[in-house]
Structure 1
Amino acid sequence: MALIKGLLKNRWIKWGLIGFTAILVFFIGLYISIYLGVFGEVPTSTELSSIKQEEATQVLDHDGKLIGKYYIYDRQPLHFEDFPKHLIDALVATEDVRFFEHDGIDNVSLMRVFIKSILLRDKSAGGGSTITLQLAKNLYGRNNYRFFSMVINKFRESIIAERIEIIYSKKEILTMYLNTVPFSDNTYGIESAARKFFNKPAFELTKDEAATLVGSLKANNFYNPRLNPERSLNRRNVVLNQMVKYGNMPQDSADFYKKKPLGLDYKSFNHDVGIAPYFREQVKKELAIILDSIKNPNGEPYDLYRDGLIVHTTLDVGMQELAEQAMKEHLTVLQKDFEASYGKYAPWKTNKKLIESALKRTSQYKKFKEAGLSYEQINDSLSVKRDTDLFQWKGDTIQKISVLDSLQHYLKFLNTGMLSIEPQTGAIRTYIGGIDYRFFKYDHVSQSERQVGSTFKPFVYTAAIENGMKPCTYFSLAEVTYSNYDDWTPSNSGGETEDPYTNYNLEMALSNSVNTIAVKVLNEVGIPKVLEQTKKLGIKKELPNLPSIALGVAEINLKQLTGAYASYVNDGKPVKPFCITKITDRNGKVIASFKQEESEPAYNDYTRQVMLEIMKSTVNSGTASRLRTSYGLTNDIAGKTGTTQDNKDGWFVGITPNLVTVTWVGNDNSSIRFKTTGMGQGANSALPIFAKFYSKLNKDSNYNNITKSHFKQASDEVITDLDCNEETRDGFFKRLFTSKKKERKFKGNSDD
């Protein structure tokens, strides 16, 4: 006691003790004030007992494979049983070795940090944070305070951590931590990180992969395995050493794993990239409408980005990958040929009116125009060059170009749309809305309407047969001028080389896509009956009441066209293509389900069989015969090529018993067309995508149910009615007294 009194007489010791006591009282008071909520509400034990984290909505293909997500925070929660043991071992050995011993605050680590970091200035001492403290930070974040911000946040987290330890078991804490901890690339939770960096679920992570992800937690940008692979690899090896140190792995195993490369299989779920981006965007649009009418148990609308919904779709991800490969292979070559055909006189380079018109439609131009700038001023502003990311088939590039240069660059690209559906249901199996969603957002499956060219002709012939015309009805190839339609004279691609005295039956005429006969068939059956037939086929828009409709001047959506063609292998019933089968909440409860609505047959089965046989001839010997001759496909296939008269659009419809596919190719700007019919015809521009797609399907036994399926045998009546000469020729006297070129009025525009 005397010694203490003596020490207190020392002025420095006295004031030192007073200062220490004051600091201690201050921090105790600060802690109490934080506990009482003076610096913001601290979650109570009740609130902590009902933690609900935001979860990404998952989009699955028809086999349950993950193809995309909608999220603000990319998070997919798991149960403790889903974590491999070596993942837990790596986490605890690296982040909190005494996790199973402390109650949320590791006093041993704190003392180590105090002595080594503060007294001995050892920067490698660590931060003393526990997994539970990190969880508290992950769950509730940190606030910025004017003074003592770090201290206040640390005290707040310690209070939350202690409450978490009372409420939850150690396994539950680890589960919450691994479901919420932030990884690299704006990824939250181990499941999302495993799928993003290694393209596999968390339970399949190997020891070195688990160590890589755990290692990135120290600084998820600095140790990002995608951006900084060398740092990430070194950090992974540190984690492996920690596992050896604490008895989770023998040294020889660690040495083995340390020799392995990172082995990333990066799969971004960024909406602009990855598999089927146009499909995922369409699903999102439909979900917005669906969820607007469904309430969650609390009576509030579901949140697409936060509520962890599971969306089951019709897409076949394997088939989609093959379709995208086929599209890219063909368009890469076709684009090169397309540009070469124009040479230095390409319209996207030389046509000033075209370029000016396109420029005025850009958002940048409209913005400057609203600001009151003249065309010349806008043009100057848009001529400033800057680094720009450009799409190219040979690989993206960054170039220093202006907005005007960029416009001309993108004007030249051919685009595409492709849809494959199950004809019996309308379930969408593949969906390609364009060549690259990052640069071309417009969806040519759901948004676009283009002239369908000769793909409309089967609807004309269907109406004719349905109304009693026999397959062996013959029509002349000769051109006819229709005087009541501005002397319109439809012609064939063969032109002057065709014999006007030759007559084709319906099979020969349609399989070779003869324009003159298509119009004559329309004239016989009548426009009203053809328009009525297309409505029965599910094409509801108003089509032009003109004879040129026989040649496909109507602009029809690709999705509707596909649904109409499905009728030829679906008992005459058209379908409405759909992409969502059901939606479940995060607990697996179905909140909405969908199936194809049953439709009535659009025509009788005799008509269906005749039309299918004719379209089989199109593939076997007609305009689509290169499927057999050039691509060697031996599958049961029916089809129809389509080309618009001005070579703007190329089409192909491929029909097989269990899959109907439609492909379109053209330029987004209707003023830019194919230079020649040879290049732009559907058999050259669109058919190869289907051909390459089916060639790839044939090599994959998973799709034998599609590639090895066969059409049903046509009835004896249909076979008999099609058994006639493909063509006849007018006799001598008929040729003698018949003009090569006839003139008549088009009568088939009424029911008379």
Structure 2
Amino acid sequence: MTTTKKTAKKKSNNSEGKYRKLIWKIMGAGVLLVFLIFLLASWGVFGALPDETSLENPEKDLATQIVSTDGVVIGKFFKDNRTPVQFEDLPDHLVNALIATEDVRFYDHSGIDAKGSIRAVAFLGTKGGASTITQQLAKQFFTDQVSKNKFERGVQKIKEWVIATRLERRYTKDEIITMYFNTYDFLNLAIGIESAANIYFDKPPSELTTVESAMLVGMFKNSSLYNPVRNPVGVTNRRNVVLAQMAKYDFITEKVKDSLQALPLGLNFKPQDHDEGIATYFREYVRGYMKQWAKENPKPDGSLYNIDSDGMKVFVTLDSKMQEYAEEAMTAHMINLQKEFDSQNEKNKITPFRDISEEEIEGIMNSGMRRSDRWREMEKQGKSEKEILASFKKKTKMRIFTWANKDRYIDTIMTPMDSLRYYKSILRAGMMSMDPQTGEVKAWVGGADYKNFKYDMVRTGQRQIGSTFKPFVYATAIDQMHMSPCDTLPNTPYTIEAGKYGLLKPWTPKNAGGGYGEMMTLKNALAQSVNTITARLIDRVGPKPVIELVEKMGVDISDIPEAPSIALGTPDVTLYEMVGAYSTFANQGVYIKPNLITRIEDKNGTVLYQNVPETRDVISAETAYVTLSLMEGVTQSGSGSRLRGTWRSSRMYKEVITGYPYDFKNPIAGKTGTTQNNSDGWFMGMVPNLVTGVWVGGEDRATHFGSTSYGQGATMALPIWAMYMKSCYADEDLDVSDGRFKKPSKISIVTDCNEYKNSNNGDEIPDEFDF
């Protein structure tokens, strides 16, 4: 080799060496730069990072859960609807679906997938990204929304890498997966897998199937785009991609994949909005209770509990099944009743009102207008009264409630004033059911539809109670005068003279239908709701002892006058008070305050409140039992006898009495109530371990049926009780009693009228009064 060639080769080798060194220097510099960037990011140069404590205990708002007595979460209070679950609550196929779709090397990397990152850079993301589950968790937990600025997004990405590596050092893989599922927003107020499983499939995460798990995991790509409520086709396609990924990585077989991809989404959408779902009125009552409780029971550090974010559990007495049966019964009956009410008002020129003048109607409408949300909102906006009034006469698009279709809504165009009048025509209802021995409220239906009718007719609504007040008068007479159901009084006109009890003029009540007769047993008198005999009884005992009795039974007596007319049900009382009072009879004379909340726990399971029942003796067990015996007569031969399946009427009338014939065979004590002009219909029904009250009527007393046939409590309210009890009896898990009421060991008052007749030397009682 010549000297020239050797020299050239040497120069070439030196050049290559220099290039290699340069490349290594550049690569080293790059590595150092990346290391420096990571170091600077970890020092917070690019913005604050969460400290170690926040990584250990990330501050996230947790929903407060309302848990029924049978262990069902019936509602939540939340800022963010998030309820954490443990890894053990996540089925294997849910975890597998996530790993197969989002990060198949999850268990092999330390937060950053180097192989995936190189691939993403090499192919510019066309063959998939490189974001690991841990990085996605870091993004969810600790960084703001993704910036559109490329530089800022780059900085955010670096932060995510730093935080991802910290997360991997701090937590196990299972804990990271659990946090990821607990924090993702699945839309429709479903934050976290627990809320998502319940909202989309009405089940806890542990019960999710493979195909359901695949749908939810598919939403991780973009829940706004893959919203199963609004985009079922797109969500189905995305779900099938997840199933394909599971098959690709051998989590399921090809055959299983094909069969699952052919299935529909199978949504069972149960929104957890405050206005929707089960027991909405009850939940709102609990919300008010919890807010007051939080004010009166601060945390150890003096701060107040926040029911929307502190993750408490409120254990309530409601039974989710009984609540469902109650709501179903009300809905079924009100659809039929409303249809009949609308039919009878087709030719009514002042519909939905009756028996009032145009001036009175104008007063009702003006009052309703000024109480409306529209009026309040426009006042807040600074609108003048003239502008507000004008807006009520302008037609506008609106969605209104209706019983006519399953969705309960129709879109229409009408003036706000017309919509006010329309809503006045919708009949209202309320129902409460309670265990008389424990005070536990098992069902609470404050109205037909909480979203449209927020006024709670269980706890807040006070209405005239009609003849359902009469048992209190009879109980007072039994307690004071030791009267028997078989004692007789004349069913003839009766007058209490002016001056007595402060009366300004004589009071002579009339019987419904004007019927009178001769002697009548107390049992038959109550069964037939005879006014004249009730008037005789209250004149014998006086109004004051009756008022004192109902006060001991939990009724607010502040607006009940000491007048004999209360015997016929003139007082306004709530369903809550009435059910509590009637429970005294079924609980052997002991009043127990209705119990709604058994205990409250913080997010760690520490008990913050434990209910202690409030009870008091009111009447003797004997008086309570005898009064029950009287009320059994109501369902044997009186206004409640249609419960026995013996009632007969026209075909059209039967169609309104939903579910008839009921054909109950077991002992039932009860009382119907109908107020003047058929404005309010009541039924109070009792079996040994369940007392239930139902009220039905219009928002205004002028909204009512034109005849007692339809407007009485036996038609408006009793069918709801009957259908509810039928469902309860059909559910063997509920153990609702069908036996007899407990008889005191010692009783001196005769309740068997045959025995009574023998004890009175054979003096006969007319056959129609012999029970």
Shift of 1:505: 2.4
Shift of 1:656: 0.5
- 3-state SS of paired residue (1:583): strand
- Given that 2:200 and 2:267 are in contact with CA atoms closer than 8 Å, whether structure 1 keeps it comes out as yes
- Given that 1:562 and 1:661 are in contact with CA atoms closer than 8 Å, whether structure 2 keeps it comes out as yes
How far apart, CA to CA, are the structure 2 residues paired with 1:162 and 1:298?
A: 35
- 3-state SS of paired residue (2:174): helix
Match of 1:491 among 510, 515, 519: 510
How far apart, CA to CA, are the structure 1 residues paired with 2:108 and 2:377?
A: 63
| Pairing 1:425–2:427 present | no
**Residue identity matched to 1:55:** L
- 3-state SS of paired residue (2:296): coil
How far apart, CA to CA, are the structure 2 residues paired with 1:75 and 1:633?
A: 45
Change (3 A) 1:133 1:688: same
| Pairing 1:697–2:728 present | yes
2:252 counterpart residue number:
249
Change (3 A) 1:46 1:672: closer
- Given that 2:466 and 2:568 are in contact with CA atoms closer than 8 Å, whether structure 1 keeps it comes out as yes
How far apart, CA to CA, are the structure 2 residues paired with 1:580 and 1:87?
A: 35
- Given that 2:494 and 2:535 are in contact with CA atoms closer than 8 Å, whether structure 1 keeps it comes out as no
| Pairing 1:317–2:317 present | no
How far apart, CA to CA, are the structure 1 residues paired with 2:381 and 2:191?
A: 42
Shift of 1:165: 0.9
Change (3 A) 1:296 1:4: farther
| Pairing 1:717–2:728 present | no
1:82 counterpart residue number:
89
**Residue identity matched to 2:605:** G
1:442-482 deviation per Cα after TM superposition (whole angstroms, max 9, x unaligned): 10111111111111111111111111152244332222344
Change (3 A) 1:363 1:216: closer
How far apart, CA to CA, are the structure 2 residues paired with 1:207 and 1:558?
A: 46
2:650 counterpart residue number:
none
2:698 counterpart residue number:
667
| Pairing 1:56–2:25 present | no
Match of 1:99 among 91, 101, 106: 106
1:267-301 deviation per Cα after TM superposition (whole angstroms, max 9, x unaligned): 22112111111111111111112223334465532
Match of 2:129 among 127, 130, 151: 127
Shift of 1:5: 11
- Given that 1:504 and 1:728 are in contact with CA atoms closer than 8 Å, whether structure 2 keeps it comes out as no
- 3-state SS of paired residue (1:182): coil
- What TM-score comes out, normalization by structure 2 length? 0.87
- 3-state SS of paired residue (1:378): helix
Match of 2:47 among 27, 32, 40: 40
How far apart, CA to CA, are the structure 1 residues paired with 2:729 and 2:457?
A: 27
Shift of 1:44: 2.3
Q: How does 1:154-193 map to 2 (within 5 A)?
A: 154-193=157-196
Shift of 1:509: 1.3
- Given that 2:137 and 2:180 are in contact with CA atoms closer than 8 Å, whether structure 1 keeps it comes out as yes
- 3-state SS of paired residue (1:248): coil
Shift of 1:25: 9.6
2:232 counterpart residue number:
229
| Pairing 1:526–2:542 present | yes
How far apart, CA to CA, are the structure 2 residues paired with 1:247 and 1:488?
A: 87
Which stretch shifts more, 398-407 or 254-263?
398-407
Unaligned runs of at least 5 residues, structure 2 = 1-9, 17-22, 647-660, 758-763
Q: How does 1:399-410 map to 2 (within 5 A)?
A: 399-410=412-423
How far apart, CA to CA, are the structure 2 residues paired with 1:100 and 1:570?
A: 61
1:706 counterpart residue number:
736
Change (3 A) 1:49 1:425: same
How far apart, CA to CA, are the structure 2 residues paired with 1:168 and 1:141?
A: 19
- 3-state SS of paired residue (1:494): helix
2:620 counterpart residue number:
604
2:20 counterpart residue number:
none
Which stretch shifts more, 705-714 or 305-314?
705-714
1:620 counterpart residue number:
636
Shift of 1:719: 3.0
Shift of 1:161: 0.8
Shift of 1:171: 1.4
1:538-573 deviation per Cα after TM superposition (whole angstroms, max 9, x unaligned): 224321111111111111121111111001111101
Change (3 A) 1:66 1:372: closer
Change (3 A) 1:476 1:669: same
- 3-state SS of paired residue (1:538): coil
Q: How does 1:290-309 map to 2 (within 5 A)?
A: 290-296=293-299, 298-309=301-312
Match of 2:483 among 470, 478, 493: 470
Change (3 A) 1:98 1:650: same
- Given that 1:507 and 1:726 are in contact with CA atoms closer than 8 Å, whether structure 2 keeps it comes out as no
**Residue identity matched to 1:62:** T
**Residue identity matched to 1:383:** K
Change (3 A) 1:155 1:492: same
1:694-725 deviation per Cα after TM superposition (whole angstroms, max 9, x unaligned): 1222322223x314332234766333674356
**Residue identity matched to 1:588:** G
1:4-55 deviation per Cα after TM superposition (whole angstroms, max 9, x unaligned): 9999xxxxxxxx9999999999987765553332443101234312334322
How far apart, CA to CA, are the structure 2 residues paired with 1:373 and 1:264?
A: 45
- What TM-score comes out, normalization by structure 1 length? 0.89
- Given that 2:244 and 2:257 are in contact with CA atoms closer than 8 Å, whether structure 1 keeps it comes out as yes
How far apart, CA to CA, are the structure 1 residues paired with 2:544 and 2:271?
A: 51
1:347 counterpart residue number:
351
Shift of 1:342: 2.4
Shift of 1:647: 1.8
- Given that 2:38 and 2:162 are in contact with CA atoms closer than 8 Å, whether structure 1 keeps it comes out as no
Q: How does 1:577-596 map to 2 (within 5 A)?
A: 577-596=594-613
Shift of 1:343: 2.1
How far apart, CA to CA, are the structure 2 residues paired with 1:707 and 1:469?
A: 29
Change (3 A) 1:560 1:386: same
2:656 counterpart residue number:
none
Match of 2:366 among 310, 335, 356: 356
Which stretch shifts more, 418-427 or 506-515?
506-515
**Residue identity matched to 2:472:** F
Match of 1:573 among 559, 583, 590: 590
**Residue identity matched to 2:453:** F
Percent identity at matched positions?
Answer: 39
Unaligned runs of at least 5 residues, structure 1 = 8-15, 730-752
- Given that 1:511 and 1:622 are in contact with CA atoms closer than 8 Å, whether structure 2 keeps it comes out as yes
How far apart, CA to CA, are the structure 1 residues paired with 2:376 and 2:197?
A: 44
How far apart, CA to CA, are the structure 1 residues paired with 2:516 and 2:342?
A: 32
Change (3 A) 1:453 1:5: farther
Shift of 1:428: 0.4
1:577-608 deviation per Cα after TM superposition (whole angstroms, max 9, x unaligned): 121101122232212111312322x1122211
Which stretch shifts more, 275-284 or 27-36?
27-36
How far apart, CA to CA, are the structure 1 residues paired with 2:475 and 2:527?
A: 13
- 3-state SS of paired residue (2:512): coil
- Given that 1:348 and 1:354 are in contact with CA atoms closer than 8 Å, whether structure 2 keeps it comes out as no
**Residue identity matched to 1:686:** A
Change (3 A) 1:544 1:111: same
Which stretch shifts more, 683-692 or 262-271?
262-271
Which stretch shifts more, 287-296 or 270-279?
287-296
| Pairing 1:394–2:408 present | no
2:452 counterpart residue number:
439
- 3-state SS of paired residue (2:450): coil
2:761 counterpart residue number:
none
Match of 1:383 among 385, 393, 410: 393
Match of 2:471 among 454, 458, 483: 458
- Given that 1:339 and 1:346 are in contact with CA atoms closer than 8 Å, whether structure 2 keeps it comes out as no
Match of 2:569 among 552, 555, 572: 552
| Pairing 1:677–2:705 present | no
